[in-house]
Structure 1
Amino acid sequence: MIAWMEWFLIAILPFVSLALAALAAGMFVSNLPLFMDGESASHCDPSESNNADPPRVSVLIPARNEEGSIAACLESVLQAVQVDLEVVVLDDGSTDQTGAIVRGIAERDSRVKLMEGIELPEGWNGKQHACYRLAQHAKHEHLLFLDADVRLNPIAIIHLWHRFSVEQDGGEIGLLSAFPRQETGTLSEKLLIPMMHFILLSYLPFARMRGSAHPAYASGCGQLFFTAQASYQAAGTHAAIRSSRHDGLKLPKAFRENGMLTDCVDGSRWAVCRMYTSAGEVVQGLLKNANEGIANSRLLIPFTILLGGANLLPWITLVMALAKRSSLIADGLPITTSVVIGILVSLIAILVSYVPRMIAAIRLGQSITGAVLHPIAIVSFLLIQWWAFWNHLRGRQVTWRGRLG
């Protein structure tokens, strides 16, 4: 029995890990060109639209204690070309200088308007309520919901409009999400922020997503959403996700539940964002909405198997095979075929498991350090997901920007 178990751990599990690593790597490689096809919109020349009526876009920015980023965000938006623009900022109960900064910019640029937040109604999340109110005051046909820590390229909005107008196999797009280039400074950021791309591209079938409005394919980045007023109203507005903290998943799902396609693309040519600036912020940020993502009873165990099996199991099987090899040598016995196979397959699985992060580092400008330390990122990410699940079971909710909602 012991010999059989040893043979299973050394000779069989490496193949399991290789299969799981190959699944993720294969999906990532096939998805990446589809994810980056927003580049086709970037090939348009804005000057070609000089004689046409420019698209009318309301840029809607919820802001709570964003004095360190709101000015840069607004200045970048106001540099937009070839669009008829209005920018509406809602100061959602900030205790810093956010409101004063926006007010100062609005005084010298009439395109900027400042809204004051109100007491958060029961059952609402703060960001969702802010976006809901912002949309009520938007005057233009198209809506760009933008986080206050995002900075746009001048051609971003016109290119987003072009990409939003591209019809997919499944029909017209109701909601487009673009993933900004994520700036990372601390080691924790370099390790964990790229996990958003790793999970998205390794496990979401992009071709199916663009060919079906099924809610199971809902995905996006809450930092940047582009839609039209009619589609937004048909989806139920942010009222449909009023209690959610995870608009990146929940808003696309609301559109899909109402029969509309959603899409997500690489937005690194259009926007840049630094989400967090410390390890504590990274952990707190991942904890706050984890139970609406992976850290729930339906997905946590499957994703633990998928992520752990593809990225951690190969290291475990390699150590076991090497330990068995050392034991055989110490006993003066020949090294068995199963041990050799276990070592080789484990090494191949490890190399394959690095493919997504290394490609992302090269193609998406992510940290090489974070990619090299990918197994540590996986361990950290899974621990945070289980921690979030445990918090959810105990009814504990992480505060964010000074409140639970």
Structure 2
Amino acid sequence: MRRRIRTAYGSALALTLALGAAACGGGPVSTAGGGDGKELAGQTLTVAGVWSGAEQKNFQKVLDAFTEKTGAKTRFVSTGDNVSTVVGSKIEGGNAPDVVMVPQVGVLQQFAQRKWLQPLSEKTRQAVDADYAPVWKSYGSVDGTLYGLYFKAAHKSTVWYSPEAFEQAGVRPPATYAEMLTAGRTVSDSGLPAFAVAGEDGWTLTDWFENVYLSQAGPQKYDQLAQHRIKWTDPSVVEALRTLGALFSDKKLLAGGQKGALATDFPGSVEKVFGPEPEAGMVYEGDFVAGMAKDEFGKKIGEEAKFFPFPPVGKGAAPVVSGGDAAVVLKDGKNQKAAMAFLEFLATPEAAAVWAAEGGFLSPNKALDLGAYSDATLRSTAKSLIDAGDTVRFDMSDQAPAAFGGTKGAGEWKLLQDFLRDPSDPARTAAALEAAAAKAYQTANQG
């Protein structure tokens, strides 16, 4: 997200600002149940999230649809990447938002452990049971209680490429990880570096690792590592780092080499492939690449910007890594009724369809008609996410305590940047990751 899904585009451009939405007239009956559709009139719902730029603009349309439906005014506050710190300071200052769009499972769990959250309503729970794969309920729950509704998801197992670059090199979308590296070297030989890697943003490197690890080590090991039930010094981690290091150490594969990758942020990596002066043929990241290629560089998705699924590594299965933003209700918010009604609204395909029509969005809600998405590529990625069901695995770094998996210049982000700079010793990197993880989990458990 975040960060990331997601959140990724928004986190890369995050600005701290607060926008107000003007109240609209009463509309149909509120999703809160009963009444004349105006029972929330006079209330102002404050929603905090990481989004800015195009993502914030599109989410505002969802807020406006809620206003039209219920009469409640809305106000969005952008937190930037440090959601936990910003929300904590607002709670301490007596100015807590009513709803927070949380981009990390670890942060949601942290909020619940601190007793900041309200359990979701029965109506929302019923919608989740009916219309979401069980994995999404699991990621939104703490100790069996549902606190988070996943409204926006990301398919983070997509590799985006320039069809022109592939045509020039005479290569096709690869079916395996080894084929992807071979195709990349062929693209490089044709005159254009293979991959634009956004090494300046450490979260993109965690996504690279997670796809390799899920495919190579398998979902059981992935779950164990995500929960720190095995150590980062496990041989499976070292092997995944070795696999990733083969890419990071190959100057034919990285636009600008390791130094260039470390100086490239996420928006810059997309620009290197789809901008006016291409510097690479491929960029790995989630489906949200499409929104940026379209909005920022005017590319026709499916024609001038295409993707292939992140290919399987060795004998493993193709990975499906996801991320997402979960809506939670804060106990200290001043408008509990409006907050609960808003989450009931977000649980409907009606709410998801508002953003789906704008692009840069996927919903884990199975009840959303795929025809709501604005183009065939989005429909394809959305179907892949839904069809994966419980084989989807949530972004591992987002499940970790923020000190390890979600802090710029620290923990996993920094250590994988160090590994990109020098990938010669995977075992040493694994040991450093374990030391940082052990410290972060110990602190989180004490808290």
Q: TM-score, normalised to structure 2's length?
A: 0.27
**Which structure features the higher share of helix residues?**
1
Q: For the pair shown, which has the larger CA radius of gyration, 1 or 2?
A: 1
Q: TM-score, normalised to structure 1's length?
A: 0.29
